[in-house]
Structure 1
Amino acid sequence: MNSTTEASELSAENLGELKYSRTIADLSGPKGLPFLGNALQMSGRQWHLSLAKWVREFRPIFRLTVPGGSVVVVSDRATAGALLRERPEQFRRVGGLKTIMNELNISGVFIAEGDDWRKQRKLVMGGLNAEVIRNFFPKMSFMAERMLRRWKTALAEGRPVDLRRDLKAFALDVTVGIAMGHDLDVVNHDGSQLQRDVDNMFQRLGARAFALFPYWRHFKLPADREADKSAANIEQTVAGFIRNTRARMEQQPHLRQKPTTMLEAMIAASDDPESGFTDQDLINNAILSVIGGEDTTANTMAWMINLLAQNPDAASALAAEADAVLDDAELAHDWEMMKQFPYLDAAHNETQRLRTVAPFIGIVSNADCVVADTFVPKNTAIMVSTAGEGLDEAQFPQNDAFLPERWIFDQKPQKEDDPARKLIPFGDGPRLCPGRFLALTEIKLVISMVMHNFELEFDTHAPPIQQIMNFFMSPSAVPVRLKLRS
């Protein structure tokens, strides 16, 4: 193995069989407080900014101290990728996160481990493969056109466009459409209860994941009771999707052999007594698909629009590309157009480098192992920085600047020089994000539509945009006005 060595059978007496030159105690790291260590610095909605600062200072591997032990942080791409590729055998998700998600009725493939994960992963991937997304693309394009009509109507009537809200609504429409086979049109329903419930769940997840003390297990604040209510609402909504889909499949038996949505595939599997896929697995993954597909994609598009609005040269270059590809069409209706946006791809990569919505992945070692020449005992928490090398000035000069051109080459670069190999925004290995292809398609469709139809005007009088960690990292605002292009 490149950066880790399995040692599940080693005891304290024969640790010498592992080859390493240091232990976690030998690693450098930021100073902490007596007893608490770095715990206070690792709490709150912006603590990931402290992590980014530490990555710049202590990379490629360092330690944080917390009550009861240490957390190892890895930021170089080679080691980070090797760790993630060795899941789930050698590493698992952080147990505390799994408990917190279960408390909010969020389960399924995201927090499953071992054989249970393999079983559920196969079913989820079947509903998100390239063929399914390609077949769904005409509906996705229709949803994007519907949002375009909403924006043009608002501008014609002199009303502002709430980009942050509408991007979340669009992402939710797409997720429910491809996973459940239902068109909710959340974009045109400002008071959507489902969108409020999903947003509420992410806020509670973020608050609990970075809390110093799990107070909600002893007493609940109004926000916690509201989160419980949102969890119940989402489950009820998903149960309705399941009932309707089962009824449709009874009327159309061929859907059991050729399902057209993720939910149909999961129902067909759960009804097979030999699959081992239970009704609870069905419910859990259906809920997860509704919740998981909204926040990451919408926040990436929001960050991208913010960055383009603040960088007119990049915005002009992307608008020119969108004009050349789309020509007289308002947006892409042809799936093949998705392959014709190299500058948009570059702008997305640069957005992920500067504002990745998942800046770290927490894992735990299943056995004693060696990570980057460091002995790591069993059950050690490890934090993988997904954009660690993206924060390195030596590898990305003008590190804080938004420069999509750094991702464009006349010839494909050598492996060691390829910037795309230095970031892992969707993770790596077997647990690579199953929705990444869907997310990339949404982003290309919407951003090309925006740049082809509108100019972006950044509100220079707006308060500074904050990076807020609500489980995933989101912008505090999108202070960008749309202006129709002539």
Structure 2
Amino acid sequence: MNSNIEAAELNMEEADELKYSRTIEDLPGPKGIPFFGNQLQMLGSQWHVTLSNYIREFGPIYRLNAFGIPIVVISDRAAISSLLKDRPESFERSRGLRMRMNELKVGGVFTAEGEDWRKQRKLVTGGLSVEVIRNFFPTMGMMTQRMVDRWKATLADGKRVDLRRDLKALALDIIVGIAMGYDLNVVSDDSHPLQHDLDSLMRRLASRGTSLYPYWRRFRLPVDRAADQSAHDVEQTVLRLIGETRERMKQQPHLREDPTNMLEAMIVASEDPESDFSDQDLVSNAIASVVGGIDTTANSIAWMINLLAQNPEAATKLTAEVDAVLGDVRMSREWEQMKLLPYLDAAHSETQRLRSSTPFLGLLAKADCVVADTFLPKGMVIFVPTTFGDGLDETQFPQHEQFQPERWIFEHKPQKDEDPARKVFPFGGGQRLCPGRFLALIEVKVVVSAIMRNFELEFDTTAPPVQQVMTFFMGPSAVPVRLRSRT
């Protein structure tokens, strides 16, 4: 156990042994309304902004109430760090979210807990290892080049590039490519049925995540039947790809030693006699990885493009860095170049601080515990901000509303308390750190470096303000940025 959190399976008499000075009832929080509590305040596409504003009003730990169920929001940095480190032993994901995801066959390592999680984590991390990503790097470059060529042709025709759509399409191409070895080419043609089915799943996950009542367990609306069909079709597609991949690996034995995508790596791991992995584990983790890798990375790049276009000085610095690293070529072709883009790294970190795709994580206490000197009973729902706590605190990040990549660049490694990387948690933390983190970082570098090397950014000042829209992940309402080809 970490020093900030004491937890154990306790009976009521043993609960008194925990040391604390307050309970949930002692915490401040916004007023609710009869029956609903604060539930209606947490609906809509900007509920994360509401919770963030409450941090400013009520402090680093406050309470909410949803239909009589207490919720605690904790933004204290030390407490968050300990909470994340104590997963999965002491805290787990919200059971409601896990159930909703599993109902649509989006489970795997994201919804697994305990020993099942440890087994599946090994499966997924092997499929997203540095070596697998390195082997996939040329394909990622090819897919990005295809998007750049499309954009240049669009601009040559005097048309405007739909950045939001195309960035999501590219993210889908890349994650399906590395997860299952399949080239959708959604960038060039978005009519592929797998794209439709995945979009359908994401929409229903978002809708069900904010639903006041799980009505679909009693009766199905047409949209629910359509989502069920999409879930079935995605599952069947993945099963077919598993079969095709296994046959290809029989014909090309070297793939077992040097897998080129996540599915190949997972198949190798699953065939270990001691692994106890099933085809259903392969299916659920392949689907979950695809769902988790589309909007998160696409939204991060979209937010970065928005912020760079509104901050020309930062865009100029990034362009100069990319030009120096890539030289005469227009697209990164060398893996080692990924280590030579510190300002791009800093711009991404600053984007995550301001606009994380997963601004809050939901946890459930598995035992009575004390967090931030507050007694929390077993089953307590806890929300923690990944970046919307210290990341938007003026004392931690002066001029916190401004986009300043320089915050993340140092001549010498900063002391622990001054390191900005220890103040925000965009990829989670502890054992359950996002398994796709390294892939996301490489994808951002490849795509953003290609954009800055080939295009100039111009923010459309006549466009409506860009809103933070929370569905299953948080993304921009639009990307009002015009591209101009660089000569």
2:98 is paired with a residue whose SS is helix
Question: Within the alignment, does 1:465 sit opposite 2:459 as a pair?
Answer: no
The 8 Å contact of residues 309 and 458 in structure 2, kept in 1 or not, is answered as yes
1:175 has 2:175 as partner: yes
- The amino acid across from 2:197 in the alignment is D
The answer to which of 46-55 and 175-184 deviates more is 175-184
SS of structure 2 residue aligned to 1:19: coil
Match of 2:205 in 1: 205
Question: Are the counterparts in 1 of residues 408 and 420 from structure 2 also a CA contact under 8 Å?
Answer: yes
CA offset at residue 257 of structure 1? 5.0
Amino acid at match of 1:320: A
Distance (Å, rounded) in 1 between the aligned partners of 2:131 and 2:210 = 38
Cα distance, 1:272 vs. partner? Answer: 4.5
Q: Whole-Å Cα distance in 2 between the matches of residues 286 and 109 of structure 1?
A: 10
Aligned residue in 1 for 2:35: 35
Give CA deviations for 1:327-355 in whole Å, capped at 9, x if unaligned: 21102111111111111111111111111
- Cα distance, 1:271 vs. partner? 3.9
Separation of aligned partners in 1, 2:117 and 2:138: 31
- Per-residue CA deviations over 1:93-140 (Å, capped at 9, x if unaligned) read 100001111111211111001000000100110111112212221111
1:128–1:434 CA contact under 8 A, matched in 2: yes
Alignment of 1:51-450 (within 5 A): 51-256=51-256, 258-387=258-387, 388-450=389-451
Partner AA of 2:423 in structure 1: K
Query: What SS does the aligned partner of 2:234 have?
Result: helix
CA shift digits 1:23-50 (9 cap, x unpaired): 1111111121123211111112221110
Cα distance in structure 1, aligned partners of 2:445 and 2:264: 27
Q: Secondary structure at the match of 2:212?
A: coil
> How far apart are the structure 2 equivalents of 1:334 and 1:255?
22
1:454 paired residue number = 455
DSSP 3-state at the match of 1:187: coil
What TM-score comes out, normalization by structure 1 length? 0.96
* Whole-angstrom distance in 1 between the partners of 2:269 and 2:336: 32
Instruction: Give the Å deviation of 1:254.
Output: 4.5
Deviation track 1:245-299 (CA, whole Å, cap 9, x = no partner) reads 0211222344445543321232234344542111211211122222221110011
Shift of 1:190: 2.8
- Provide the secondary structure at the position in 1 that maps to 2:31: coil
Moved more, 415-424 or 452-461: 452-461
User: Shift of residue 454 of structure 1?
Assistant: 0.8
Letter in structure 1 aligned against 2:18: L
SS of the residue corresponding to residue 109 of structure 1 reads helix
Cα distance, 1:199 vs. partner?
Answer: 2.2
CA contact 1:56–1:391 (8 Å) conserved in 2: no
Please say if residues 92 and 363 of structure 1, whose CA atoms lie closer than 8 Å, have aligned partners that are also in contact: yes
Output the TM-score relative to the length of structure 2: 0.96
Distance 1:195 1:77 in 2: 38
Compared CA separation, residues 254 and 326, structure 1 to 2 (3 A): closer
Q: Is contact 2:154–2:161 with CA below 8 Å preserved after alignment? A: yes
| Partner Cα separation in structure 1 for residue 160 and residue 220 of structure 2 | 37
CA distance, structure 2, for counterparts of residue 376 and residue 272 of structure 1: 42
Query: What is the aligned partner in structure 1 of residue 47 from structure 2?
Result: 47
Q: Which amino acid aligns with 1:225?
A: R
Percent identity of the aligned residues? 63
**Would you say the 8 A contact 2:386–2:425 is kept in 1?**
yes
The amino acid that maps onto 1:419 is P
Query: Which segment drifts farther, 193-202 or 320-329?
Result: 193-202
Distance between the aligned counterparts of 1:259 and 1:327, measured in 2? 31
Q: Which amino acid aligns with 1:146?
A: R
Quick check: 1:45–1:207 contact (8 Å CA) kept in 2? no
- Contact 2:179 2:289 (8 Å CA) reproduced: yes
- Give the aligned residue type for 1:35: F
Q: Is the contact made by 1:44 and 1:207 (CA closer than 8 Å) also made in structure 2?
A: no
Question: Residue type of the partner of 1:108?
Answer: G
Query: Which 10-residue stretch deviates more, 401-410 or 144-153?
Result: 401-410
Q: 1:33 to 1:441 in 2, by over 3 A?
A: same
> Secondary structure of the equivalent of 2:483?
strand
Q: Which runs of 5 or more residues in structure 2 are unaligned?
A: none
Deviation readout 1:416-454 (Å, 9 max, x if unpaired)? 011111000000001100000000000011111111211
